[in-house]
């Protein structure tokens, strides 16, 4: 958290997910949507198991990036 407005820029810089992390999160969400459409509760992404917990983590990363981008 920041207690002074001048700290917000630094906090955003430190806590903003990298472009690669956001891209991976979006890909995980897409993979899970496809899996759900096929009646599956889990699938793989880059050789790793992903499931609803992975999806929730990916949603947090994407939302965090969107909120920080809005300023």
So which residues are the catalytic ones?
A: 51
Instruction: Count Cα atoms within 13 angstroms, Cβ side, for 16.
Output: 15
Beta strands in the chain (DSSP E): 43-45, 48-50
Residue that has been written with the tokens 């496809």 in this structure: 34
């Amino acid at each position: 958290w920041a207690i002074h407005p001048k700290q917000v820029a630094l906090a955003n810089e430190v806590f903003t997910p990298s472009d690669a992390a956001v891209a991976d999160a979006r890909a995980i969400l897409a993979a899970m949507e496809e899996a759900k459409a096929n009646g599956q509760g889990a699938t793989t992404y880059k050789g790793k198991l992903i499931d609803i917990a992975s999806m929730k983590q990916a949603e947090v990363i994407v939302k965090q990036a969107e909120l920080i981008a809005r300023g």
